[in-house]
Homo-oligomer: A and B are copies of this chain.
Amino acid sequence: MIRFECDYAEGAHERILKRMIETNMEQTPGYGLDPHCERARELIKKECGKDVNVHFIVGGTQTNMIVLASLLKPYQGALCANTGHIEAHETGAIEATGHKVMTLPSDDGKIRAEQIEKAVEWHYAQGNREHITQPGAVYISHPTENGTTYTKDELAEISATCRKYNLPLFLDGARLGYGMAAPDSTITMKDLAEYCDVFYIGGTKVGALFGEAVVFCNGGGDFEFRYHIKQRGAMLAKGRLLGIQFETLFEDGLYYEISKGAIDKAMQIRDAFAAKGIKFLYDSPTNQQFPILPNDMLAKLNEKYASSYWEDVGPDHTAVRFCTSWATTQENVDELVKDIAAL
């Protein structure tokens, strides 16, 4: 079985493993206060082109719940697409910190500045607004759970709307590398640092064993944020493991390089399906592709290739997800492309 069903099926990029071995017997302070974390922070600051505050956390759901719990007052919720990860795939982790996820309808995983504006205006227009959860932050993903990406203009508009209403903008970048490497994408790390209040750079799905680098762009995320991390059980004792990985990813562009590789391979797969007249559930320029396959064609493909089920489309078709990642080999892609052509 050749696996394309997710982007976290393998371990880590070999250079990360190598660095972990080299540093293994170094003695360092724990909890993210070591020289590797320090250096990784400096490298990320440089990418951002400004004096951001950076913290490292093991996983994405953990990061979402800690950041939102730190941003929101008890009676506030986070605006988010109804397809958003915090709404749909985190077992109520946000609610477990006491906050409502306030959904906005979305067909493609994205929300628009107007939706945010309308939701906030609606809230403050209510006669008894204190009976209703107050919007307290905006959560978006780039790329989204559906593989789609924001344009720079869309992001700028969302950011402007958030600032107009004094709502922190939090961007989930679990697959950020793949979003930035997407064809036509022009959003840079410096843009994110300008437009967001907090965002994170996903490591788990982009070459690391695990780890997300949370970046506070406008003065948040000082030392006190460490209390939040610890309180939610997320302060890794051997924090240097996070520092080492992000050092390796950002000291000479490895993060961008492996993201680019994954996107190139995803586009080959996309083109192969498209050449057969296959339609897609979402128009994704990133490492997740969602072809809508006739069930017999899917069954045949699945004899050799693992994909993940997404949803039924009519009685005879199924949308599935094929993912590439930093670990996808060109050999496996070639074989898949060839087999698609032969269907």
Interface size class of A (residues with CB under 8 A): 35 or more
**A75 — nearest CB in chain B belongs to which residue?**
B227
Residues of B within 8 A of A241 (CB): 11, 209-210
CA gap between A226 and B126 in the complex, in Å: 14
Is A228 a contact partner of B74 (Cβ separation < 8 A)?
Answer: yes
**A238 — nearest CB in chain B belongs to which residue?**
B8
Is A131 a contact partner of B3 (Cβ separation < 8 A)?
Answer: no
Secondary structure of the A side of the interface? loop
Interface string of A1-34 (1 = CB under 8 A from B): 1010010111110100100110111111111000
**Beta-carbon contacts under 8 Å, A115-140 to B:** 127-128, 130-134
**A21 — nearest CB in chain B belongs to which residue?**
B17
Is B210 a contact partner of A93 (Cβ separation < 8 A)?
Answer: no
Is B100 a contact partner of A92 (Cβ separation < 8 A)?
Answer: yes
Q: With an 8 A cutoff between CB atoms, is A232 at the interface?
A: yes
Q: With an 8 A cutoff between CB atoms, is A165 at the interface?
A: no
Known A-B contacts A25-B10, A59-B237; A231 and B132 likewise in contact (beta carbons under 8 Å): no
**Beta-carbon contacts under 8 Å, A288-331 to B:** 308-309, 327
**A72 — nearest CB in chain B belongs to which residue?**
B74
Is A232 a contact partner of B96 (Cβ separation < 8 A)?
Answer: yes
**A34 — nearest CB in chain B belongs to which residue?**
B9
Is A25 a contact partner of B98 (Cβ separation < 8 A)?
Answer: no
Q: With an 8 A cutoff between CB atoms, is A61 at the interface?
A: yes
- Which segment of A63-71, A152-160, A256-264 sits at the interface? A63-71
Is A232 a contact partner of B128 (Cβ separation < 8 A)?
Answer: no
